[in-house]
Amino acid sequence: MEAKRRELVPLALLWGAGIATLVILIVILAYILANGLPVISWHFLTGEPALWGQTGGGIYSTIVATLAVTSISLLVAAPLSVGGAIYLNEYTKETSLRMVIRQAAEILAGIPSIIVGLFGFLFFVIYLAPFTGGWSMISGGLTLAFMVLPISLRTSEEALKTVPAELREGSLGLGATKWQSITTVVLPTALPGIITGLILGVGRAVGETAAILLTAGGSLNLIQSLRDPGRPMTLNIYNVLTEYRDTTTAYGTAAVLVIAILAITLITDLLMNSYTKKLKGL
Amino acid sequence: MDIATKTSVEISVKSLNLWFGKFQALKNINIGIQKNQVTALIGPSGCGKSTFIKTLDRMNDLVDNVKITGEVVYQGRNILDSDTDVVELRKQIGMVFQKPNPFPKSIFDNVAYGPRVHGVRKKQNLNEVVERSLKAAALWEEVKDRLNESALRLSGGQQQRLCIARLLAVEPDVLLMDEPASALDPIATSKIEDLIYELKNDYTIIIVTHNMQQAGRVATNTAFFYLGELVEYAPTIDLFERPQDKRTEDYVTGKFG
């Protein structure tokens, strides 16, 4: 009996540790939504921002800016990460080059975003200004691509690894070329994992602030082209808080951001689940 | 080893050696595989029989650190030559694997896979080849009403026959089968064996098996592999009833294996 009671102590502690994650998530979400949801209205989502020096107003231009930088980063990072993962998993053997590339991806993922932002600032905003327009959606999007790339690369590689070797052998055994086997058998089978990786990357891009702060500019004007500066939602939260203590707009923007990320995650999960089921013939 | 001289030989293997790194998995193999017959390869696990058939369609190319010497002559050419068109070779020498490995696609798309990658596009032609192949693999009656269902919904035995149909659709000359029934129940196994027996009229078949009864039922000739060596190669009935080598005798009488 004594021994059993002593077992309860670690069990309770471990249970607490496990539950803590859930509780923290719920507390943050609840707090943001409780404060932010009342702010959200049609006007808030589609309206123009408040005039200089005033609080309130809509966040339409910041939603558009977030969409712009995220799309650019995805367009650049998706082919690079999927292509890189295919190269690593299908075309290289377990050699030092492969380990070096994989290690590089891991280090890239670990670089503080403000430092990636600094590089983006010096390279895209200053050096390549004639092409990127200086502070712009292009500069911000390309900088974000550096942050999306390693996450998507590693998840895509893991997804490709889960494709059974028998399927590749089966395809090659029928006289398909390697490239045919990859495009018609390997990629469709690995697709759910690859998409999940890209979505993780999108989540990172949508939520990134420091790298954007130094590269996208901060203009509240609605962008007219991708070479214009703009203010994605995360940056807006930062700006309205530090400049005006406008907590209302900050909470509202945060709630939109959180709902968007939740929606993307859930919808992707649903789509990929049904795709996987179809793949398995269920 | 006088089988080789009796009838026409489809594949002639001479002085074949194979190493994985420092380990020699095949030692000086010489064998002539007869055309339109079933040849069984038997022997205990790790004796080199699977490695041997994977050499015949160059599947060992996929493994790291392999070194191969000797000759495998097929249609007058040594297929081990580095300038062999491996893609073309695998159209002619096809493989059925130990575990059924249908693609996660529909039954139709599985069978149409080979013709499609080789450029057949017309729906009419694909329909014909799918029906013909499924019939040849004795699966047509069971699946003709659900060709668009996922192949993964088929039973293990049906999946393996589907994999055979998928292979026949490419119209190969030689079928390599690596323990094709080892993952199947007895009924499914006997269907596969009947099928193999049927198919030998049109194809040269090499089957790796653990199961000596199976070799006895389907194979004209049988080769006994042991520790990377081809110990004995003879008409199946002779190999089982009058083995020349002590090791063959011990194996076929069940003293080890």
With a cut of 0.90, is the ipTM above it? Answer: no
Which of A168, A174, A180 is most worth mutating to test chain B (most B CB atoms within 10 A of its CB)? Answer: A174
Q: Which residue does chain A place closest to B105, by CA atoms?
A: A279
What pLDDT, on a 0 to 100 scale, did the predictor assign at position B106? 94
pTM to 2 decimal places: 0.83
Going by C-alpha positions, the residue among B6, B58, B51 that lies closest to residue B33 is: B6
- Do A175 and B91 lie within an 8 Å CB cutoff? yes
Question: Residue A78: which H helix or E strand, with range?
Answer: helix A60-86
Question: Does residue B83 lie in a domain region?
Answer: yes
Any A CB within 8 A of B20 CB: no
Task: Tell whether A18 and A152 lie within a shared domain.
Answer: no
Q: Is B112 helix (H, G, I), strand (E, B) or coil?
A: helix
What pLDDT, on a 0 to 100 scale, did the predictor assign at position A57? 84
Going by C-alpha positions, the residue among A186, A160, A33, A53 that lies closest to residue A102 is: A160
Phi-psi region of B254 (alpha: psi -120 to 50; beta: other; left: phi over 0): left
Q: Which residue does chain B place closest to A188, by CA atoms?
A: B104
What pLDDT, on a 0 to 100 scale, did the predictor assign at position B6? 53
Burial class (CB in 10 A: 0-12, 13-18, 19+), A73: buried
Collect all residues with Cβ–Cβ distance below 8 Å to B31 and sequence separation of at least 6. B1, B4, B12, B13, B223, B230, B233
Task: Tell whether A50 and A189 lie within a shared domain.
Answer: yes
- Do B170 and A174 lie within an 8 Å CB cutoff? yes
Task: Tell whether A60 and A7 lie within a shared domain.
Answer: no
Question: Does residue B31 lie in a domain region?
Answer: yes
**Per-residue model confidence as pLDDT tens digits over B15-73:** 999 999 999 999 999 999 999 999 999 998 888 898 999 999 998 887 878 999 999 99
Of the candidates B88, B117, B150, the beta carbon closest to that of A281 is on B150
Please determine, for residue B3, whether its predicted confidence score (pLDDT) is greater than 80. no
Q: Check if the beta carbon of residue B97 is closer than 8 Å to that of residue A166.
A: yes
- Do B90 and A172 lie within an 8 Å CB cutoff? yes
Q: In chain A, what residues touch B95 (CB-CB under 8 Å)? A: 169, 173
Sheet holding B93-96, edge to edge: B77-78, B66-74, B9-20, B23-34, B229-235, B221-226, B38-42, B204-208, B174-178, B93-96
Range of the domain at B20: 3-252
A264 DSSP 8-state letter: H
What pLDDT, on a 0 to 100 scale, did the predictor assign at position B125? 94
Residue type, B237: I
- Do B153 and A172 lie within an 8 Å CB cutoff? no
What pLDDT, on a 0 to 100 scale, did the predictor assign at position B225? 94
Structural domain count, chain B: 1
Question: Does residue B188 lie in a domain region?
Answer: yes
Interface of A with B (CB under 8 A): 93-94, 164, 166-177, 180, 184-185, 188-189, 278-281
Task: Tell whether A14 and A141 lie within a shared domain.
Answer: no
Quickly list H helices, B94-155: 107-117, 123-136, 140-143
Would you tell me how many other CB atoms lie within 10 Å of the CB of residue B170? 22
Range of the domain at A120: 42-280
Binding-face residues of B in 71-130 toward A, CB within 8 A: 87-91, 94-95, 97, 99, 101-105, 113-114, 116-118
- Do B87 and A185 lie within an 8 Å CB cutoff? no
Q: In chain B, what residues touch A281 (CB-CB under 8 Å)? A: 104, 149-153
**Per-residue model confidence as pLDDT tens digits over B158-216:** 999 999 999 999 999 999 999 888 888 888 888 889 989 889 889 999 999 988 888 99
Q: Which residue does chain A place closest to B86, by CA atoms?
A: A175
Q: Is B43 helix (H, G, I), strand (E, B) or coil?
A: coil
What pLDDT, on a 0 to 100 scale, did the predictor assign at position B7? 65
Please determine, for residue B5, whether its predicted confidence score (pLDDT) is greater than 60. no
**Spatial separation of the C-alpha atoms in residues B164 and B180, rounded to whole Å:** 9
Of the candidates A94, A164, A175, the beta carbon closest to that of B118 is on A175
Residues of chain A with pLDDT under 70: 1, 53, 282
Of the candidates B90, B94, B103, the beta carbon closest to that of A167 is on B103
- Do B97 and A180 lie within an 8 Å CB cutoff? no
Structural domain count, chain A: 2
Average pLDDT score over residue span B148-158: 92
Task: Tell whether A90 and A201 lie within a shared domain.
Answer: yes
Structure tokens given for A71: 């799309």
What pLDDT, on a 0 to 100 scale, did the predictor assign at position A4? 79
Question: Does residue B47 lie in a domain region?
Answer: yes
Task: Tell whether A7 and A74 lie within a shared domain.
Answer: no
Q: Which residue does chain B place closest to A278, by CA atoms?
A: B150
Instruction: Compute the count of residue pairs across chains A and B with CB atoms less than 8 Å apart.
Output: 81
Band (B101; pLDDT cuts 50, 70, 90): very high
**Spatial separation of the C-alpha atoms in residues A279 and A159, rounded to whole Å:** 15
Task: Tell whether A139 and A189 lie within a shared domain.
Answer: yes
- Do A94 and B64 lie within an 8 Å CB cutoff? yes
Task: Tell whether A31 and A128 lie within a shared domain.
Answer: no
Task: Tell whether A119 and A247 lie within a shared domain.
Answer: yes
Any A CB within 8 A of B153 CB: yes
**Spatial separation of the C-alpha atoms in residues B191 and B205, rounded to whole Å:** 16
Structure tokens given for A131: 């092409």
CATH of the domain at B163: 3.40.50.300
Average pLDDT score over residue span B116-123: 92
Task: Tell whether A197 and A100 lie within a shared domain.
Answer: yes
Q: In chain A, what residues touch B117 (CB-CB under 8 Å)? A: 171, 174-177, 180, 184
Angstroms from A271 CA to nearest CA on chain B? 17
A228 DSSP 8-state letter: S
**Spatial separation of the C-alpha atoms in residues B224 and B251, rounded to whole Å:** 9
Q: Check if the beta carbon of residue B26 is closer than 8 Å to that of residue B48.
A: yes
Q: In chain A, what residues touch B152 (CB-CB under 8 Å)? A: 279-281
**Spatial separation of the C-alpha atoms in residues B214 and B63, rounded to whole Å:** 29
Question: Does residue B257 lie in a domain region?
Answer: no
Q: Which residue does chain B place closest to A166, by CA atoms?
A: B101
Report the largest interatomic distance among the alpha carbons of chain B, rounded to a whole angstrom: 57
Q: In chain B, what residues touch A184 (CB-CB under 8 Å)? A: 113, 116-117
Collect all residues with Cβ–Cβ distance below 8 Å to A66 and sequence separation of at least 6. A206, A232, A233, A234, A257
**Per-residue model confidence as pLDDT tens digits over B202-249:** 999 999 998 888 899 999 999 999 999 999 999 999 999 999 999 999
Of the candidates B62, B103, B152, the beta carbon closest to that of A170 is on B103
Task: Tell whether A28 and A54 lie within a shared domain.
Answer: no
Please determine, for residue B102, whether its predicted confidence score (pLDDT) is greater than 60. yes
What pLDDT, on a 0 to 100 scale, did the predictor assign at position B110? 96
